[in-house]
C-alpha cells in the first residue's frame, strides 16, 4: 500500500467519523447546557427550602399573643359582622349606638381602561359605612379610640348633621384592608 492510499484511508476515516460524531457533539453540548440549568435550579430550590425553614422557625417563635395582634392589624378576611360588632363595642363605651351599616368592596387595581389599571395588590379593601347620633365630645372620644385601634381604618368621608339640642347625626365611611 502506498502512502497516498494510506493518507486517503486516513482522511476518509476521519471524514466518516466526523460525519457521525459531529451531530452527537451538538446533542452533548445541548445536554450539558440543560444539565447546568438543572443543577442551578436544584441549587436555587435548596436555597429556597433553607429560607423557608428559616422563616418557619422564626414564625414558630412568634408568641400566640403577637400572632393575634398581627391578625388584628391585617386579617385574612373582611368579617363584616365582627368588625361592626367591634366598632359598636367601642361606641357603646361612650353611649353611642352604631346603626345603618353597609359595606362595598373596592377594586384592587383601579383604572378607567385596562392599560391604566395598576398591578394587583396583595390585599383587598372595602368601604364600611355606618351612622350614629351623639354629642361632639362622644364623637371625638369614639374616633380617638378607633384611631388607636390595631385595625387599619382609613377615614374616607364624614358627614355631620346638626341639631339644636347638641346631639348630632354622624355618617362615617372607613376603608378597611385584609390580605388575600
Domains in the chain: boundaries: 1-61, 72-109+120-179
pLDDT at 46: 95
pLDDT reported for residue 116: 60
58-77 mean pLDDT: 84
Confidence label for 151 from pLDDT (cuts 50, 70 and 90): confident
Contact present, 103 and 127 (Cβ < 8 Å): yes
Of 163 and 38, the structure prediction assigns the larger pLDDT to 38
Q: How far apart are CA 175 and CA 52, in angstroms?
A: 33
User: What distance in Å separates the CA atoms of residue 128 and residue 117, rounded to the nearest whole number?
Assistant: 23
Report field, pTM of the whole predicted structure over 0.75: no
Which grid coordinates belong to 38?
438543572
The answer to whether 168 touches 133, Cβ cutoff 8 Å, is yes
pLDDT over threshold 90, residue 53: yes
pLDDT band at 112 (very low <50, low <70, confident <90, very high): low
Domain 72-109+120-179 class in CATH:
alpha beta
Average pLDDT, the chain: 84
Average pLDDT over residues 118-124: 78
Amino acid at each position: 500500500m502506498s502512502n497516498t492510499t494510506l493518507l486517503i484511508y486516513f482522511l476518509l476515516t476521519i471524514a466518516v467519523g466526523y460525519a457521525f460524531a459531529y451531530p452527537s457533539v451538538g446533542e452533548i453540548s445541548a445536554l450539558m447546557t440543560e444539565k447546568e440549568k438543572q443543577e442551578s435550579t436544584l441549587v436555587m430550590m435548596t436555597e429556597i427550602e433553607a429560607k423557608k425553614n428559616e422563616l418557619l422557625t422564626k414564625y414558630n417563635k412568634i408568641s400566640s399573643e403577637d400572632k393575634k395582634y398581627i391578625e388584628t392589624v391585617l386579617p385574612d378576611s373582611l368579617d363584616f359582622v365582627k368588625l361592626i360588632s367591634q366598632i359598636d363595642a367601642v361606641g357603646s363605651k361612650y353611649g353611642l349606638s352604631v346603626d345603618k351599616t353597609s359595606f362595598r368592596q373596592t377594586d384592587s387595581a383601579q383604572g378607567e381602561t385596562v392599560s391604566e389599571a395598576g398591578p394587583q395588590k396583595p390585599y383587598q379593601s372595602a368601604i364600611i359605612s355606618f351612622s350614629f347620633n351623639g354629642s361632639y365630645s362622644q364623637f371625638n372620644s369614639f374616633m380617638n379610640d378607633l384611631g388607636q385601634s390595631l385595625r387599619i381604618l382609613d377615614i374616607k368621608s364624614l358627614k355631620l348633621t346638626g341639631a339644636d339640642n347638641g346631639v348630632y347625626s354622624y355618617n362615617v365611611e372607613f376603608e378597611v384592608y385584609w390580605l388575600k
